[in-house]
Structure 1
Amino acid sequence: MRGSAAVRTTIYQLFVRHFGNTCSARVIDGDIEQNGCGKFADITEASLRAIKTMGFTHIWLTGVLEHASLTRYHGIPADDSVLMKGKAGSPYAIRDYFDVSADYAVEPENRLEEFSSLLDRCHELGLKTIIDFVPNHVARSYCSDVKPDLNFGESDDSSRFFAWNNNFYYLEGDLPMLLPGGEFAAEGAGRVTGNNAATWEPSLSDWYETVKLNYGHDFTTGRNTHELPSKEAHIDEVPDTWVKMDAILAYWQEMGVDGFRCDMAHMVPMEFWAWASRRARLRYSQCYFMAEAYDGDPAKLTHDNVLEALLANGFDTVYDGDSYELVKSVVEEGRNTNDLDALLWDATRLEKMLRYSENHDEVRLCSSHHWGGHGAKMGKVVTAFLSAVGSGPFMLYNGQEVGEVGDGDEGFAKDDGRSSIFDYGSLPALSQWVNGGTYDGGGLTEEQTALRDWYGEWFVLMNEPAFVRGGVYGLNSANFKNASFKAGDEAVAQSIYAFLRHDRESDEAFLVVLNFSPIHCAKNLEVVIPKSAQEWLDAEVANRLIIGDLDPCGVTVIQLAL
């Protein structure tokens, strides 16, 4: 294989609370003393080198900002229990944008220094660092002791639901907030929840533990935000929330953070993103912005396709939730793999969108409750498709590479097939790889070791030119009548998916063939390469390539001689 001058962005999502925690107690709803907690210091040079060797370019250090918690430290009180989701708390209920969680420090009073040292370790190995930026909402207990002069709401006119320079939206009256469990929370001036619920009695599905931030637009009037300042506006010409958010981004950039994963970015005006990303890149030209966003959310603040709007307003990449859901429906609902062709015609989706087969919001691939309950083998074929069909960035969630299952009741999160972000605990499979801090995988089974090796080899392959910058050509339509193009007794092309990747600059090409059936082997499989595909390759290759047998959830990649 030829080397590649370009490097594909591959992101390792590392949830600090879990990553280095090897405590095996896993008490349901246990506290930090019972279940332990990962530390910045646990993310050692050895662990980072192992991640780097797998082919990753960026590490998303998830959940590092100080957030609401029931654990108290000297000078840091515990939050109101009735406003908490789990003892550890949601990492998206930020209590101080200018600080990191004391849970993650060996010496809590030195937590910022320990975090800074972690950034240095990442950079010494050439890994770019990303942290969360949660712009839409904060914890109800928000109060910065690092930058008290930049606290939210202190100059607000709380007698008005909306004012351009207010940081929050205020409810009428002076009532106690009635929470879903029937308890009251002392609220003072009532504020709208993070998910836009303007009520004194939020439901269980509301983000009642958070309050929504105001960017100078009254969200109740609709999605037209054109009244907001332009991206070139001077800092004295923008709403107060913009000023404070810019200060937050600048603070972490100065510390050495290379980029930001922006939570629920579609709920924030596009004008802010254009302004903030421009200013961030004036400070550091390569500052990386990735957005969690969903076009189908009625709370989005644009009439346009929100994914395209975010890319146009400063983002490097945006979550591709639609591709994830499509592949999940192929596996769980039995949709024909030909339906995957729908992804091939959208160049923006192929080249810019961030793909993933797991993240902290989604279920584990190996969960017994999801993805058909077929275990680690399903993770390979799903990840292979989502990462190889386009040249956009790809993200892997810690534990995915060793088959973490996410099963079991952990506390607030219950048994939902996810690794809880609300509770203290460790990840059983990942702990076996950590192996007491050696990060050598000594505790893994042979199957887990083989899975991690596969992920490592796969992401090295994804840095070949054909996958970094090449085009894609789907082959299922040309094989619809191909009698061998099936698995078991299933209908023709029901479970097999094949495509080409080709880079003209290096003249490198690969054939990728996937079997999405978790049960049936494809016997004596052959793939037709039609004349149109050969013209696309600008080369004469065999019009029928013999693959042989392809196991259930099998993945085959063949480099073509052009």
Structure 2
Amino acid sequence: MPEWPEHVLWWHLYPLGFVGAPIRDGVDPDAAPAHRLDRIEGWLDHVIELGLNGLLLGPVFASETHGYDTVDHFRVDARLGDDADLDRLLAAARERGIRILFDGVFNHVGRGHPAFQAVLAGGDAELFRGSRVDGRFEPEVFEGHGALVALDHSADATVDLVVDVMTRWLERGIDGWRLDAAYAVPSEFWARVLPRVRERFPEAWFVGEVIHGDGPAIVNASTMDSLTQYELWQGIWHGIADGNFFELSHAIERHDDLLATFVPQTFLGNHDVTRIASAVGSDLVPHAIAVLFTVGGTPSVYAGDEFGWTAVKEEREGGDDAVRPEFPATPSDVTDVDESILDAHRALIALRRRHPWLWRARTDVVEVTNTTLVLRTAVDDEAVIVALNIGDSPASLPAADAATVVAGHATLSDSRVDLGPRGWAVFEA
């Protein structure tokens, strides 16, 4: 695995929504480019100002609707722009020292993909899973979505295609890939693809979207570098929202076990889930951020979460739209900002920058009740301590070597930390 991911903190955005592109109505994959990608470039200084240095982009390739129904892996989506627009964005990111991760949708393609259209016309179906019924090819689809045609991951042609796509864009200057729906792809497929890509690009980083399963076994079999940490995300969300820090404590203990094999990609929000401020309430978002940036992992901030934006994902057509909104032209145009949440992001990202050893550090649960939690993450003689209270009464908790408050508010005395109702604090030892 390359060393650079240890020092990268990601800002994750969904490009089609971010730039205000049409998602369902009037989409023509072959339309003339609409040059919208410069909207993202206008936010790169915001990424740096937050203390982040990575840009995790959702789909940028030609597709029919939401970006995950790809019709051409080698062409920029016309709703975003063209090759020149993308090259300018990549150059602007490099000038600022910002790494770029692309979203690789390699489990399935859209029905309009030329290779699939050729199959429907009677051509070779080697790229796709399915069968012919009365002379017509009936494809397998992804999780019941008829518009998403499953690729055949046992086929040499599919391996060659994905290797070609990955290397083509790594040549153009990206730093790695988020592997969409990696949980639905056999590990053996990634084990055939990724070593071939690494032969040419040994510094590339690969993180798989895996929602559940045996993480270490998946990493070992697939050769992926990292996996998305949904269990920790769920533990943070429900531990806070349900007033059950025992669930979060258990998730942290399981998270620590993963660090012996790989460093997960950690998050509080992404393009597929309800925003954290809606999940736990705005006043408890800093508690969640404190956990994210003080436990091991490669953290990402979903664009807009730093402002305290709210949005609920719904299980219906268009149910993702609220969590994938259009952004204004520049950060200075944002009017709905929760300053306490923004300040907490800045302080905790700065803490993480000062202590890069947190990337793979283990966390001890010092004390836990339903509504209070003390965490101590340490390596050698360095330690970061988190004290949280989600109850409506003050709390006195063990200090666990805490010496200096670096974020939040608390009083230290007699080896105890005193927090107010719904209070939180992070300390250096």
TM-score higher than 0.5: yes
Contact 2:106 2:180 in 1 (8 A): yes
Question: C-alpha distance in 1, partners of 2:182/2:400?
Answer: 42
Q: Are residue 121 (structure 1) and residue 117 (structure 2) matched?
A: no
Matched with 1:193 is 141
Q: Once the 2 structures are TM-superposed, how far is the Cα of residue 510 of structure 1 from its aligned partner?
A: 2.1
Contact 1:67 1:96 in 2 (8 A): yes
Matched with 2:209 is 292
Matched with 1:526 is 397
Q: In the superposition, relative to structure 1, how do residues 213 and 157 fare at CA in structure 2: closer, same or farther (>3 Å)?
A: farther
The one-letter amino acid of 1:8's match is H
Contact 2:366 2:375 in 1 (8 A): yes
1:169 to 117, 129, 134: 129
The one-letter amino acid of 1:65's match is F
Once the two structures are superposed, what CA deviation does each residue of 1:207-266 show, in whole Å capped at 9, x if it has no partner?
1111110022xxxxxxxxxxxxxxxxxxxxx71111111111111111112111101112
Q: Are residue 511 (structure 1) and residue 388 (structure 2) matched?
A: no
TM normalised by structure 1 equals: 0.65
The one-letter amino acid of 1:128's match is R
Larger Rg: 1
Contact 2:289 2:348 in 1 (8 A): no
Local SS of the residue matching 1:473: strand
Q: Are residue 315 (structure 1) and residue 224 (structure 2) matched?
A: yes
Once the two structures are superposed, what CA deviation does each residue of 1:359-380 show, in whole Å capped at 9, x if it has no partner?
011111223xx43xx2x22222
Question: C-alpha distance in 2, partners of 1:458/1:448?
Answer: 16
Q: In the superposition, relative to structure 1, how do residues 471 and 306 fare at CA in structure 2: closer, same or farther (>3 Å)?
A: closer
Question: C-alpha distance in 2, partners of 1:501/1:528?
Answer: 13
Question: C-alpha distance in 2, partners of 1:475/1:409?
Answer: 37
The one-letter amino acid of 2:224's match is F
Local SS of the residue matching 2:146: coil
The one-letter amino acid of 1:509's match is A
Matched with 1:48 is 44
Question: C-alpha distance in 2, partners of 1:443/1:495?
Answer: 34
1:404 to 309, 313, 320: 309
| Highest RCO, 1 vs 2 (Cα 8 Å, sep ≥ 6) | 1
2:377 to 498, 501, 505: 501
Q: In the superposition, relative to structure 1, how do residues 98 and 131 fare at CA in structure 2: closer, same or farther (>3 Å)?
A: same
Q: Once the 2 structures are TM-superposed, how far is the Cα of residue 338 of structure 1 from its aligned partner?
A: 6.5
Q: In the superposition, relative to structure 1, how do residues 126 and 284 fare at CA in structure 2: closer, same or farther (>3 Å)?
A: same
Matched with 2:347 is 457
Q: In the superposition, relative to structure 1, how do residues 409 and 6 fare at CA in structure 2: closer, same or farther (>3 Å)?
A: closer
Local SS of the residue matching 1:359: coil
Local SS of the residue matching 2:353: coil
Local SS of the residue matching 1:92: coil
2:233 to 317, 324, 330: 324
Q: In the superposition, relative to structure 1, how do residues 472 and 330 fare at CA in structure 2: closer, same or farther (>3 Å)?
A: closer
The one-letter amino acid of 2:141's match is T
- Identify, as 1 or 2, the structure richer in strand: 2
Cα RMSD (Å): 3.4
Q: In the superposition, relative to structure 1, how do residues 411 and 392 fare at CA in structure 2: closer, same or farther (>3 Å)?
A: closer
Local SS of the residue matching 1:444: coil
Counterpart mapping for 1:487-498 below 5 A: 493-498=369-374
The one-letter amino acid of 2:181's match is M
Question: C-alpha distance in 2, partners of 1:6/1:363?
Answer: 26
Q: Once the 2 structures are TM-superposed, how far is the Cα of residue 348 of structure 1 from its aligned partner?
A: 4.5
Question: C-alpha distance in 1, partners of 2:240/2:5?
Answer: 33
Matched with 2:363 is 472
Matched with 2:288 is 382
Q: Are residue 99 (structure 1) and residue 75 (structure 2) matched?
A: yes
Contact 1:366 1:379 in 2 (8 A): yes
Question: C-alpha distance in 2, partners of 1:515/1:469?
Answer: 26
1:266 to 170, 183, 186: 183
Counterpart mapping for 1:55-74 below 5 A: 55-68=51-64
Matched with 1:11 is 10
Matched with 1:343 is 252
Q: Once the 2 structures are TM-superposed, how far is the Cα of residue 316 of structure 1 from its aligned partner?
A: 1.8
Any gaps of 5 or more consecutive residues in structure 1?
69-88, 106-110, 144-150, 176-187, 196-205, 217-237, 297-304, 432-436, 478-492, 531-541
Q: In the superposition, relative to structure 1, how do residues 514 and 549 fare at CA in structure 2: closer, same or farther (>3 Å)?
A: closer
Q: Once the 2 structures are TM-superposed, how far is the Cα of residue 385 of structure 1 from its aligned partner?
A: 1.4
Q: Are residue 393 (structure 1) and residue 393 (structure 2) matched?
A: no
Once the two structures are superposed, what CA deviation does each residue of 1:47-83 show, in whole Å capped at 9, x if it has no partner?
2122023222321111211111xxxxxxxxxxxxxxx
Contact 2:216 2:258 in 1 (8 A): no
Question: C-alpha distance in 1, partners of 2:315/2:157?
Answer: 40
The one-letter amino acid of 1:384's match is A
Contact 1:169 1:192 in 2 (8 A): yes
The one-letter amino acid of 2:427's match is I
Local SS of the residue matching 2:240: helix
Question: C-alpha distance in 1, partners of 2:419/2:413?
Answer: 19
Question: C-alpha distance in 2, partners of 1:210/1:381?
Answer: 38
Q: In the superposition, relative to structure 1, how do residues 452 and 113 fare at CA in structure 2: closer, same or farther (>3 Å)?
A: same
Q: Once the 2 structures are TM-superposed, how far is the Cα of residue 453 of structure 1 from its aligned partner?
A: 2.7
Q: Which moved more, 1:255-264 or 1:399-408?
A: 399-408
Question: C-alpha distance in 2, partners of 1:170/1:90?
Answer: 24
Contact 1:317 1:352 in 2 (8 A): yes
Q: In the superposition, relative to structure 1, how do residues 245 and 472 fare at CA in structure 2: closer, same or farther (>3 Å)?
A: same
Matched with 2:171 is 254
TM normalised by structure 2 equals: 0.84
Q: In the superposition, relative to structure 1, how do residues 155 and 462 fare at CA in structure 2: closer, same or farther (>3 Å)?
A: same
Contact 1:17 1:38 in 2 (8 A): no
- Identify, as 1 or 2, the structure richer in helix: 2
How many residues in Structure 1 have an aligned counterpart in Structure 2?
A: 407
The one-letter amino acid of 1:394's match is P
Once the two structures are superposed, what CA deviation does each residue of 1:451-498 show, in whole Å capped at 9, x if it has no partner?
223212211111233523433222016xxxxxxxxxxxxxxx221111
Question: C-alpha distance in 1, partners of 2:52/2:383?
Answer: 22
Task: Percent identity, please.
Answer: 20
Q: Once the 2 structures are TM-superposed, how far is the Cα of residue 193 of structure 1 from its aligned partner?
A: 0.9
Local SS of the residue matching 1:340: helix
Q: Once the 2 structures are TM-superposed, how far is the Cα of residue 551 of structure 1 from its aligned partner?
A: 3.8
Local SS of the residue matching 1:104: coil
Contact 1:153 1:167 in 2 (8 A): no
Question: C-alpha distance in 1, partners of 2:146/2:330?
Answer: 41
Question: C-alpha distance in 1, partners of 2:107/2:177?
Answer: 14
Question: C-alpha distance in 2, partners of 1:258/1:333?
Answer: 38
Q: In the superposition, relative to structure 1, how do residues 468 and 420 fare at CA in structure 2: closer, same or farther (>3 Å)?
A: closer
Once the two structures are superposed, what CA deviation does each residue of 1:74-112 show, in whole Å capped at 9, x if it has no partner?
xxxxxxxxxxxxxxx22111111111111112xxxxx11
